[in-house]
């Protein structure tokens, strides 16, 4: 893993953007995108740039089951608001949280990923080490699947809802196997609350207990950290 430590998430967003731009300049056409607060500064830098995605494809990692695309906490809505309204792609795929037939949605989304191999995948990091919504214990061989969210993720994401009871209990998520097929991965993690997960991801063993640790087995991963999230690394 190529680890870059910057001062804060603003600088991290700029570094993330530079990696996007370099991939774009080298001919990347399919971008795997993430939600959460972490990638926002990178999306802001993309929006401020003159990069044109009108011939490109985006594929998002995950979506809550049961939320309509126009629900303010859906990941569809998040992407529209932070990126797609200002930088439209030719095709933007996000799992369909309203598809009650999980098998159908999993097959549909796996086909989309197979048809559009991801050149650059951006990832955030859950406090428990999850990537996408691949919670601890997830089988790394899974493709897109339906996930029951852990209590820790529900609590961490409750800040976006009126209260924790409103956080959906399930999500559709790209699997670890799908993520690992991306040619290049950019993971960003900012803030002290991510420091334990960051340390385990980089310095711990590869284990299903910390899903992001599988990234140690991928040959092209860049990790951008700020001073808080890097604070427990031993090599600093």
Q: Which residues in this chain contact ligand GLP in the complex, by CB under 6 A?
A: 34-38, 61-62, 124-126, 132-133, 153, 157
**Bridge partners for 145 per DSSP:** 173
Alpha helices in the chain (DSSP H): 9-25, 40-48, 75-79, 102-115, 151-157, 176-180, 195-203
Which candidate in 76, 82, 96, 130 is catalytic? 130
- Shortest distance, position 161 Cβ to ligand GLP, whole Å: 13
Residues 82, 83, 86, 92: what is their CA dihedral angle, to the nearest 10 degrees? -140
- Shortest distance, position 22 Cβ to ligand GLP, whole Å: 22
145 is catalytic: no
Which candidate in 63, 105, 119, 135 is catalytic? 135
Nearest by Cα to 218 from 194, 189, 183, 191: 183
Nearer to ligand GLP, 34 or 118 (CB): 34
Nearer to ligand GLP, 20 or 133 (CB): 133
In angstroms, rounded to a whole number, what is the distance separating the alpha carbons of residues 17 and 47? Answer: 10
- Shortest distance, position 156 Cβ to ligand GLP, whole Å: 7
Nearer to ligand GLP, 90 or 164 (CB): 164
135 is catalytic: yes
């Amino acid at each position: 893993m190529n680890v870059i430590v910057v001062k804060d998430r603003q600088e991290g967003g700029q570094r993330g953007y530079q990696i996007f731009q370099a991939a774009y300049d080298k001919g990347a056409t399919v971008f795997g995108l993430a939600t959460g607060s972490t990638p926002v500064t990178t999306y802001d830098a993309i929006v401020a740039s003159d990069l044109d995605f009108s011939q490109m494809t985006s594929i998002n990692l995950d979506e809550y089951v049961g939320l309509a695309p126009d629900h303010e906490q859906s990941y569809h809505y998040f992407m529209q608001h932070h990126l797609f309204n200002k930088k439209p792609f030719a095709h933007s795929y996000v799992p369909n949280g309203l598809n009650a037939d999980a098998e159908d949605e999993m097959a549909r989304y796996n086909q989309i990923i197979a048809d559009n191999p991801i050149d650059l995948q951006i990832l955030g990091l859950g406090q428990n080490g999850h990537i996408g919504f691949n919670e601890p214990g997830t089988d790394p061989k899974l493709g897109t699947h339906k996930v029951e969210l852990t209590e820790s993720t529900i609590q961490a994401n409750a800040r976006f809802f009126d209260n924790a009871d409103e956080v959906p209990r399930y999500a559709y998520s790209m699997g670890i196997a799908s993520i690992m097929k991306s040619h290049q991965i950019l993971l960003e993690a900012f803030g002290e609350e991510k420091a334990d997960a960051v340390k385990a991801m980089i310095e711990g063993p590869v284990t299903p207990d910390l899903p992001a640790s599988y990234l140690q087995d991928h040959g092209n991963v860049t990790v951008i950290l700020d001073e808080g999230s890097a604070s427990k690394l031993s090599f600093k």
